Amino acid sequence: MCFITASHMSCSVDVIFFIITLLHNISHFYFQTAFQFIFVAAAKYCVDIATHQHGCCVLQRCISHSTGEYREKLVEEISTNGLLLAQDAYGRRGKQKIFLAYGDGIRPSVFSPYVILECGDNCMKSFNVDKAEFTARNYVVQFILELKIPSATSTLVSQFQGNYVHLSSQKFSSHVVEKCLVVLNDESRSRIIRELLSATHFERLLQDPHANYVVQTALRVSEGPLHNSLIEAIESRKAISRNSPYSKRIFSQKLLKK
């Protein structure tokens, strides 16, 4: 057996790949009983791991394999650092299988085209560092949001409130805002959209290379009076925004219907 203590759980590439291989090949039950120290170390160094380009697979496996207090502690630590991780290149999107290509409806701003990676079951199988480092981004915070653990969600949302406009305009954290719009409940979703609408220069969101995607998602998930308010806010900026290469996507889609 290879002995590793918590002090060794750094962001060394060798250690990261060792742990990924370990998590991938050892049975769920055996791992839970024999390697609990990894859960403890993962929680302690979750920020270092989450912000490492290969660390997303480590945390995903740790969360998937852990139970009880180990899982709760790991989720708590990640959630507590949610705002920090939401703005980091490697603290966000991953997990789902991604087939990427440029074209209508595909968002190319973060990912390299034609990259295929399943960050989970085949994390090592198709891992090309030069390309997969792009795909590994935007992972941890979104994964926690998808778990829909009330305490973790509440911790994340409390950090994001008042920052949605700023987060929407950033290359990486804009994906987190989109995920919030999709997975959070109606009340939280409405708060996000109202915060966006209250932006001093809402038209800048329409023209922003990243925030325009957030607005498009808001249009898709909103309903009723709030949806109508969003459409009115967009249409009132049509004259100054529609010629922007990014806001054109908003005005050209069939989303501006009350």
Tell me the pLDDT tens digit for each residue of 64-110: 878 889 899 999 999 999 998 888 665 554 333 322 332 334 454 33
Distances from the Cα of 221 to the Cαs of 23, 176, 216, 236, in angstroms?
36, 15, 9, 21
126: confidence class by pLDDT, cuts 50, 70, 90: very low
Range with the poorest average pLDDT among 76-90, 106-120, 222-236: 106-120
Domain regions of the chain by residue span: 1-160, 162-253
Q: How does the average pLDDT of the chain come out, rounded?
A: 75
pLDDT at 131: 35
Question: How far is Cα 206 from Cα 249, in angstroms, rounded to an integer?
Answer: 9
Which segment, 2-11, 76-85, 111-120, is predicted with the most confidence on average? 76-85
Specify whether the CB–CB gap between 75 and 152 falls below 8 A: yes
Return the HEC string of 195-257.
Answer: HHHCCCCHHHHHHCCCHHHHHHHHHHHCCHHHHHHHHHHHHCCHHHHCCCCCCHHHHHCCCCC
